Amino acid sequence: MLRAFVWVLGILIYLQNRDVQLGAVFATLAAAGIGIGIALRGPVEDFFTYLTILFDRPFRIGDFIIFEEYLGAVETIGIRSSRIRALGGEVIAIKNSELLAKTVRNFAALERRRRTVIFGVTYQTPAALIEAIPQWTREIVEATPDSEFDRCYFISFGASSLDFELVFYVPMADLVVALKAQQQIQLGMMRYFEAKGVEFAYPTQTLFIEKGN
């Protein structure tokens, strides 16, 4: 392309020095340049988007990302599009310009995962046991591998339950490890609460009938 440009420029200079009228030639070249610019707008935009991904590095090959409803590991980053290996095994190709135009959640730099468990117990639970539940959950979390207790509080009077919020951290980015820890904690809560006589609540309605005289 550079050689062709030099040759064309040289020919134009030669013809101009020979007093050849080049107005029509320049007009044709200008029109052609505009047409080529319009035609190449998309590829040029894709190329500069590709460079932006390479230098800015919002994600890299192997990173686990979420883009809109798609989530998976980045397999390739091409000039025009990037490919994500979804959890179901299929490959999803997304234009780079779309990736940079919207929010991409990258979990590669995640140092730890925050997990939240919302649960409720029945209204028949004595206040002394309600007060003890945060300490029970703390002991359960601390006894579970790969988990760090953060907090547990009685947060609200629900429609059919006394609601608690348990928050704990898993000190790594692996989602499978986080889900395994959460499962062990929830099973531990079921066993512990059953031993203490505390029942988990589910949507119910209680009808109170007042007898007349």
Per-residue pLDDT in tens (0 to 9) along the chain, 213 residues: 778 778 877 887 777 777 766 666 666 766 666 666 665 566 777 778 888 888 888 888 888 888 888 888 899 998 888 999 988 888 999 888 888 888 888 887 788 899 999 999 999 999 999 999 999 999 999 999 999 999 999 999 998 899 999 999 999 888 889 999 999 999 999 999 999 999 998 877 777 788 775
Neighbouring CB atoms inside 10 A of 104's CB total 19
Question: pTM of this prediction?
Answer: 0.61
Whether the Cβ atoms of residue 178 and residue 170 lie closer than 8 Å to each other: yes
Angle at 86 between CA 82 and CA 89, to 5 degrees: 120
Q: Are 106 and 67 in contact (CB under 8 A)?
A: no
Strand, helix or coil for residue 31? helix
